[in-house]
Amino acid sequence: MDARRGSLPVPRVRQVGFFTPNAQPAPTRSQSGPPDSSSPPLSDSPASNSLSPVMIPPPRHHSDNLAAAPRPTSPLPVPEPSPFRRRGADNNNALLVGSYNPAETLLAMSPSSSHVGDGESEETMSGGWFRRSNSGKLASSLPSGTFDFSPVQSTAEALKPNKVQNPVGISAPKEQQPEAPSSSKQPKPKLTKAERRALQESQRAAKAAAKAGGGKSVAAPEEVATIKSVKQHQTQKKDAPQVAVSVAASERKGGDKSQEKERRKDAPAPRMQFDDKSRVEKAKRRSVVDQTEAKKRVELFRHLPQYEHGTQLADLESKFLQLDPMHPAIYKVGLQYLAGDISGGNARCIAMLQAFQQVVKDYSTPPEKTLPRDLTAKISSYVSFFTQCRPLSMSMGNAIRFLKNRIAKLSPSLSESESKSSICTDIDRFINEKIVLADRVIVQHASSKVKDGDVLLVYGSSCVVEMVLLHSHELGKQFRVIVVDSRPKLEGKALLRRLVAKGVHCTYTHINAVSYVMHEVTKVFLGASSVLSNGTVYSRVGTACVAMVAHAFRVPVIICCEAYKFHERVQLDSICSNELGDPDAIGKVPGRMDVNYLNDVSNSGNLQLLNLMYDATPADYVSMIVTDYGMIPPTSVPVIVREYRRDHLLI
Amino acid sequence: MPDVQALVNDFLNKLKKRKIEGSQATAKQTAELLRSVISQQRVPYTNQAGALIDSVRAIGEQLIAANPIELAVGNIVRRVLHIIREEDLSLTTAAVTELNLSTISDDDDDDGGGNQDDHPVLSAAAVAAAARSSLRPPSLQMLLEGAPEFVAVPRSSSSGGDSEGKSKSMDRNSRTRKLKHDVIEAVNELIQDITTCHELIAEQAVEHIHQNEVILTLGSSKTVLEFLCAAKEKKRSFRVFVAEGAPRYQGHLLAKELAARGLQTTVITDSAVFAMISRVNMVIVGSHAVMANGGVIAPVGMNMVALAAQKHAVPFVVLAGIHKLCPLYPHNPEVLLNELRSPSELLDFGEFSDCLDFGSGDGSPLLHVVNPTFDYVPPKVVSLFITDTGGHNPSYMYRLIADYYSADDLVVQRRHSAVN
């Protein structure tokens, strides 16, 4: 990098403004990388350059501070360029990625983020750091930034440091900014105009950046940095570092492509539509579980599986001995799903993963087959068995994707037992980090929102929410809980019992009365089966009703959900994708002898019973989602999905 | 009149024990009771209307106190009071106008007595009576010609029926009998109206339900049932989603009935309302009472449905017979006009008996169960009211109500009861 610096005299000159001309801006610069594309238009016109501070710091700077924390230790007296750049960088990041920054902050808090500081000292590392935690695009924009940004910046700063300094001082007083510029050149008299200009400039730059898109515009400082010229430039470069960089760039491009491909691969496959006759037939031929289609199907839900309930279990039990290829652990869990003994997203997911673990332990590669292929195929068949028992939740889909990914990425050099143990530890780690630890983090975050005197409304029975309540209670907070329940599962009763046993003040009511009790409620805590990337919360049916009423009464709605349940799928209503429960459960009201109106009419042709299991809560009703990466607005879900999907897969 | 008192006590008991289901039945029985009260009432020669009003009001107060949540009782009492006033007034007016228009006065009396509520054809007497109701400004013609009103206005502005009776100068035997007779006729008419309000409302169904519509309703209401079936009879085919309406599950009943009548019916849980509402074209529900501001007291859960309908811009239509129109404005209706039912509908005592006696240190129990009966739906989420007189906006309800009740009763009733 130094060499490269050397090859570029201009920046140095300009950096005089920052009075650290020969000091290596390198370390900082690498960090500042991303800003990149904003520069080309600026460097076009040197005149504008002088006024061009792209690096007007954005108001929010937490992330910089966090990331910059290790910076002061850097031996070089190069304080200002770095923060500036970083600021600029962040600014651009924000432009590119949307609400990226909060995630970053969260990242810093999350356990997996311990590497935030690593990259700081070594520039080469820094790229890696970004790449790891960020999307490909961001990572790709890094090196380019290192090129062009510094010159532009430095010129600008050199010319009117004061201007720049001012906002910096506001935004990040801790950093050494203020002193540095003060010793530099005198500020221009017309500050305001310049500032305005600067702002315009930066906006224009941002636009250009957006157009140029990510890392494509690698601007050479000496040249007029149009994209074309950039390309030329890249090819021209001969010095080692340049080559290295261009290699890096090409790598990056390659990475982009492969990532793209991967992303496409990752994109959820279209779901099975059960009104597609041929496919249903095909699926049926393959299926293990004998399912008879419901006679009275609800027209609106023809695309969802509607089977007679109650027949499969006995049938499957009788088939136990015939199902050779099925591992007993899988079989057991499948039966439990079918019988409803295991319910709740986390419990189902953990049970499935542990069954897979068992399978892996007992697995031995058949001759003439490779472990990754055969095991993946096996797991796929098990997954389809589970699906027949009960449609998989999206969180389980994520877990399966993780597992398959791990199997596929096994290094071929490992022996069978090694790969098996590695898969098992991976599963353990997934359960531990993504579910158990994540829950603990969520409980920490969420219980900080519980205050004395609160009246909390919870719906149904979510294990995370329950943990939040119990933890807050253990902390000695004085609050009341209103448990809202709904038919036909009445899961709230079990929750109520557990809460009361722990001594929490509870009020129990049914969902129709939710607007009656909402007057006194101060916060609504809800669990989720999955959070979709448009912010929709896919959860137990009735959640949307509760959230809606809370919204109407201006009560904040807090969703507690582990990040592994986030999914990149989008959904606008509860109809297109859902799960149908046993319709007969609707007609029966346990414990109410007087309600038996539907006992005898269930064979009437005109009457159908519909037992929806889930519904989709629109993002507008959600005030906040508490996840293991921290507390985020629903609009940030896609960011988490994108930024951490790699992370899901890699852990 | 011992037999009347016995009747009243019997009815009071039923009200107190909430033995009477549904506002229509309540309204009808109230009207019948009041009719027998009126018929038993001895009428003095002077101030007959005053005497009738007093006795009706006395009983009405007891009835209202027996079940203040059942607004239909109060509505009917007010209606009857209003009828007595109107009859009295029309007789008086008739007596006055007799001087000028002796030939047609008899006809007018009958019309005014029998049909003052529903008939679009208003007799001169009815117009005069209507002009007097304090919510309605006197018509230009009245103001100009003045004569009959001039006599009447001071009377109505005085507070009670007593003064009205006193200020009456003419008392004739024929008039005495006629008043009581007219009042009973009018109350009969009212009872008739209450029984037939379903049909009147159902007649309008075809105007609101088109082919292939998807309709959502919650709980059970006879009016809704008739409304939907009326549309079905006109060969409209549509589907109905019925939310079951926990904890009473009346929706099951409605669904069964609808299915039996050949409608495509789907029962859903209350929690699925939000999920399904996006595929629904119209929400049609019954109500418990309609307040003067256009707010609705309805079975619990209705507010949720209304909010969901509003979110998805689905019309929220409330069917209400005239006996459900309450002339009062609600204050904190969620609490004051509500009733908590037994927790046993939600929690099995046997199952939770161990939890129920958990107590914290200060003696208050740890576990509460809330099981309200009604919900208040604010007027802004209601798209339309369909009453037996047609469709109305929520903002118009106060005006509609003014036709049915005399302003004196709204206030006097409550002031009086406070004194007692």
Q: A501 and chain B: CB distance < 8 Å anywhere?
A: yes
Q: What is the pLDDT of residue A154?
A: 43
Please tell me whether residue A285 adopts helix, strand or coil conformation: helix
CA B333 to chain centre: 16
Structure token pair of residue B206: 């075809």
User: pLDDT at position A311, please?
Assistant: 65
Same domain, B107 and B215: no
Supply φ then ψ for residue A626, to 5 degrees. -95, 120
Q: At what angle do helices A328-339 and A345-361 cross, to 10 degrees?
A: 160
- Is any Cβ of chain B less than 8 angstroms from the Cβ of A579? no
Does B279 lie in the same domain as B229? yes
Please report residues of B whose CB lies closer than 8 A to that of A615.
271-272, 274-275
Task: Find the range with the poorest average confidence among A137-146, A273-282, A519-528, B11-20.
Answer: A137-146
A574 — contact with chain B (CB < 8 Å)?
Answer: yes
Say which residues have a Cβ less than 8 Å from residue B370's Cβ, sequence separation at least 6. Answer: A482, A507, A508, A509, A513, A516, A517, B340
The reported pLDDT for the residue numbered A237 is: 43
Residue A497 to residue B352, Cβ atoms within 8 A: yes
CB contact under 8 A, B304 and A548: yes
Tell me which residue in A512, A544, A606 faces B274 most closely, judged by beta carbons.
Answer: A544
Q: What DSSP state is assigned to residue B123?
A: -
Least confident of A265-274, B135-144, B165-174: B165-174
Cβ contact, residue pair B355, A615, below 8 Å: no
Percent of chain B with pLDDT over 90: 30
Mean model confidence pLDDT for chain B: 80
Task: Measure the CA–CA gap between B245 and B219, rounded to whole angstroms.
Answer: 4
CB distance B267–A592 less than 8 Å? no
CA–CA dist A216, A270 (Å, integer):
32
Domain check: are B280 and B381 in the same one? yes
Most A CBs within 10 Å: which of B269, B276, B332, B357, as the mutation test of the A interface? B269
> Are A244 and A30 within 8 A, CB to CB?
no
- State how far the alpha carbon of B276 is from the alpha carbons of A308, B216, B263, in Å: 22, 9, 18
Question: What confidence score (pLDDT) does residue A373 get?
Answer: 86
B28 lies in the same domain as B89: yes
Interface test with B, best of A606, A610, A617, A621 (most B CBs within 10 A): A606
Chain A CB contacts of B352 under 8 Å are 493, 497
Q: What is the pLDDT of residue B146?
A: 64
Tell me which chain B residues have a C-beta less than 8 angstroms from the C-beta of A584: none
Q: For A446-496, how does the pLDDT look when each residue is reduced to its tens digit (9 = 90+)?
A: 999 999 999 999 998 899 999 999 999 999 999 999 999 988 888 899 999
Sheet holding B296-299, edge to edge: B289-290, B296-299, B374-377
Find which of B264, B267, B274, B366 to mutate to test the A interface (most A CBs within 10 Å of its CB).
B274
Band the pLDDT of A218: cuts 50, 70, 90. very low
CB of A592 within 8 Å of any CB in chain B?
yes
Give the residue, A447 or B162, on which the prediction is more confident: A447
**pLDDT score recorded for residue A77:** 41
pLDDT at B166: 43
The alpha-carbon gap from A601 to the nearest alpha carbon of chain B, in Å, equals 7
- Do A598 and B272 make contact, defined as CB atoms within 8 angstroms? no
pLDDT of residue B377: 94
Does the beta-carbon distance from B300 to A507 stay under 8 Å? no
DSSP state of A56: P
Q: Per this entry, what is the length of chain B?
A: 420
Instruction: Determine the average pLDDT of the residues in B317-337.
Output: 89
Q: What is the distance, to the nearest Å, from the Cα of residue A2 to the centroid of all Cα atoms in its chain? A: 37
Over residues A75-93, the mean pLDDT reads 42
Q: In what order do the strands lie in the sheet with B214-218?
A: A607-610, B264-268, B239-243, B214-218, B282-285, B316-319, B384-387, B390-392
Q: Residues near A145 by Cβ (< 8 Å), separated by ≥ 6? A: A29, A32, A33, A34, A35, A36, A85, A89
> 3-state DSSP call for residue B367?
strand
Same structural domain, B174 and B213: no
> With an 8 Å Cβ cutoff, are B367 and A506 in contact?
yes
The average pLDDT across A139-162 equals 42
The CA-to-CA distance between both ends of chain A, in Å, stands at 31
**B417 located within any domain:** no
User: What is the spatial distance between Cα A534 and Cα B198, in angstroms, rounded to a whole number?
Assistant: 46
CB count within 10 Å of CB A196 equals: 12
Considering chain A, what is the average pLDDT of its residues?
69
Averaged pLDDT, B386-410 = 87
Report how far apart, in Å, the C-alpha atoms of A271 and of each of A299, A610, A630, B63, B236 are.
19, 21, 31, 61, 36
Q: Which chain A residue lies closest to B305 (C-alpha atoms)?
A: A545
A496/B367 CB distance under 8 A = yes
Strand partners, B325: B290
The minimum CA-CA distance between B399 and chain A, rounded to whole Å, is: 29
Report if residue B364 sits inside a domain: no
Q: How crowded is the C-beta side of A16, counted as CA atoms within 13 Å?
A: 6
Beta-ladder partners of B282: B215
Residue B354 lies in a domain: no
Name the residue with higher pLDDT: A203 or A391. Answer: A391
> In DSSP terms, which residues pair with B385 in a beta bridge?
B318, B392
- Where a domain ends, among B196, B228, B258? B196
Chain A environment of B279 (Cβ under 8 Å): 300, 573, 575
Res. A139 pLDDT band, cuts 50 70 90: very low
pLDDT at B275 > cutoff 70:
yes
Same domain assignment for residues B226 and B88: no
Distance CA B143, CA A457 (A): 60
Least confident of A315-319, A406-410, A560-564, A586-590: A315-319
Residue B368 forms part of a structural domain? no
The beta-carbon neighbor of B279 closest among A519, A575, A609 is: A575
Domain co-membership, B41 together with B186: yes
**Nearest CA to CA, how far is B310 from chain A (Å)?**
11
Which SS3 state, helix, strand or coil, does residue B99 take? helix
Write the CATH number for B388.
Answer: 3.40.50.10470
Per-residue confidence (pLDDT) for residue A279, from 0 to 100: 75
Question: B345 contacts in A (CB within 8 Å)?
Answer: 592
Select from A505, A516, A541 the Cβ nearest to the Cβ of B370.
A516
- The pLDDT value given to residue A263: 53
Q: Of A102-116, A228-242, B299-313, B390-404, which range is least confident?
A: A102-116
In chain B, which residues have their Cβ closer than 8 Å to the Cβ of A609? 266-267
Compute the count of residue pairs across chains A and B with CB atoms less than 8 Å apart: 194
Rounded to a whole number, what is the distance in Å from the CA of B252 to chain A's nearest CA? 6
- Using a CB-CB cut-off of 8 Å, the residues of chain B touching A519 are 334
Chain A hits for B253, CB-CB cut-off 8 Å, are 597
Per-residue pLDDT, B111:
43
Rounded to 10°, the helix A81-97/A191-212 angle is: 50
Whether the Cβ atoms of residue A580 and residue A609 lie closer than 8 Å to each other: no
The residues in A 37-56 lying below 8 A from B, measured between CB atoms, are none
pLDDT at B415: 47
Lowest model confidence (mean pLDDT) among A365-374, B74-83, B115-124, B245-254:
B115-124
SS3 (DSSP) at A303? coil
Looking at residue A200, its amino acid is: Q
Same domain, B184 and B213: no
Distance CA A179, CA A18 (A): 11
Contact residues for B237 (Cβ-Cβ < 8 A; gap 6+): B211, B212, B264
Looking at residue A156, what is its pLDDT? 43
Q: Which of residues 461-500 of A touch B (CB under 8 A)?
A: 482, 485-488, 493, 496-497, 500
Helix axes A416-429, A371-389, angle to 10 degrees: 40
Strand order in the sheet with A479-485: A630-632, A624-627, A557-560, A523-527, A454-459, A479-485, A505-510, B367-369
Residue A481 has phi, psi (to 5 degrees) of -120, 135
Lookup: tokens for A619: 């993002």
Q: Which of residues 138-177 of A touch B (CB under 8 A)?
A: none
Q: For B152-174, what is the mean pLDDT?
A: 45
In a domain, B344, yes or no: no
Q: Average pLDDT of B334-339? A: 86
**Residue B232, in any domain of the structure:** yes
Spatial contact of A470 and A497, defined as CB atoms under 8 Å apart: no
Structure tokens at A543: 């959640």
Domain boundary among the residues B170, B196, B222 is at B196
Residues in chain B within 8 Å Cβ distance of A587: 252, 267
Burial of A76 (0-12, 13-18, 19+ CB in 10 A): middle
> How far is the C-alpha of B79 from the C-alpha of B72, rounded, in Å?
10
Q: Examine the pLDDT at A111 and tell me if it is beyond 60.
A: no
Burial, B360: exposed, middle or buried (Cβ in 10 Å; 0-12, 13-18, 19+)? exposed
The residue with greater pLDDT, A310 or B28, is B28
pLDDT number for residue A599: 73
User: Which residues have C-beta within 8 Å of that of residue A330, sequence separation ≥ 6?
Assistant: A355, A356, A359, A382, A385, A386
How far apart CA B126 and CA B101 sit, in angstroms, is 15
Q: What percent of chain A has pLDDT over 90?
A: 24
- Out of A298, A488, A497, name the one closest to residue B269 (CB): A488
Query: Which domain, by its residues, includes B110?
Result: 2-196
Based on DSSP, count helices (H) and strands (E) in chain A, helices before strands.
Answer: 30, 12
Length of chain A: 651
**Of A509, A604, A608, Cβ closest to residue B370:** A509
Q: For the segment B367-376, what is each residue's pLDDT rounded down to a tens digit?
A: 889 999 999 9
CB < 8 Å from B in window 386-445 of A? none
Q: Which of B263, B307, B334 sits opposite A516 (nearest CB)?
A: B334
Q: Chain-centre distance of CA A439, in angstroms?
A: 15
Strand partners, B391: B386
Say whether A496 and B360 touch across the interface (CB within 8 A): no
Q: What is the mean pLDDT of residues A70-99?
A: 41
Q: Give the integer Cα–Cα distance in Å for B217 and B316.
A: 10
Nearest-CB residue to B272 (from A501, A512, A612): A612
The partner residues of A369 in beta bridges, in order of sequence, read none
Closest residue on chain A to B356 (Cα): A500
Q: What percent of chain A has pLDDT over 70?
A: 52
Which range of A522-526, A575-579, B138-142, B176-180 scores highest in mean pLDDT? It is: A522-526
Confirm whether B355 is domain-assigned. Answer: no
Last residue of a domain, one of B146, B170, B196: B196
- Residue B2 banded pLDDT, cuts 50, 70, 90: low
Q: Which of B346, B360, B372 has the CB atom closest to A516's CB atom?
A: B372
Structure-token pair, residue A375:
């095991």
Does residue A625 or residue A599 have the better pLDDT? A625
Are A487 and B271 an interchain contact pair (Cβ–Cβ within 8 Å)?
yes
Among the partner-chain residues A545, A552, A608, the one whose CB lies closest to the CB of B273 is A545
Asked whether residue A210 carries a pLDDT value surpassing 90, the answer given is no
When pLDDT is cut at 50, 70 and 90, the band that residue A297 belongs to is confident
Q: In one letter, which amino acid is B419? A: V
From B370, which residue of chain A is nearest by alpha-carbon distance?
Answer: A509
**SS3 letters for A399-432?**
HHHHHHHHHHCCCCCCCHHHHHHHHHHHHHHHHH
Which residues, in sequence order, are bridge partners of residue B318?
B285, B385
Q: Are residues B299 and B327 in the same domain?
A: yes
Domain count, chain B: 2
CB neighbours of A379 closer than 8 A, spacing ≥ 6? A356, A359, A400, A403, A404, A407
For residue B327, say if its preceding peptide bond is cis, omega within 30 degrees of 0. Answer: no
In a domain, B292, yes or no: yes
Dihedral angle sign, alpha carbons of residues A304, A308, A314, A319: negative
Strands A454-459 and A523-527: what pairing?
parallel
Most confident segment among A203-207, A317-321, B340-344: B340-344
Tell me the HSE value of A12 on the side-chain side, using a 13 A CA sphere: 12
Which token pair is A160?
């009117």
Which of A540, A541, A544 has its CA nearest to residue A619?
A544
pLDDT tens by residue, B125-151: 555 555 455 445 667 777 777 655 444
Cα A92 to Cα A84: distance, rounded to the nearest angstrom: 12
The reply to whether B177 and B211 lie within a common domain is: no
pLDDT number for residue B90: 86
- Is B256 in Cβ contact with A607 (below 8 Å)? yes
If asked whether residues B182 and B215 sit together in one domain, one would say no
pLDDT, tens digit, for every residue of A428-441? 999 998 899 999 99
pLDDT above 50 for B311? yes
- Residues of A with Cβ-Cβ distance to B275 under 8 angstroms: 541, 544, 573-575, 578, 612, 614-616
Tokens encoding A380: 């796929």
Interchain proximity A501–B358, CB inside 8 Å? yes
Do B189 and B245 belong together in one domain? no
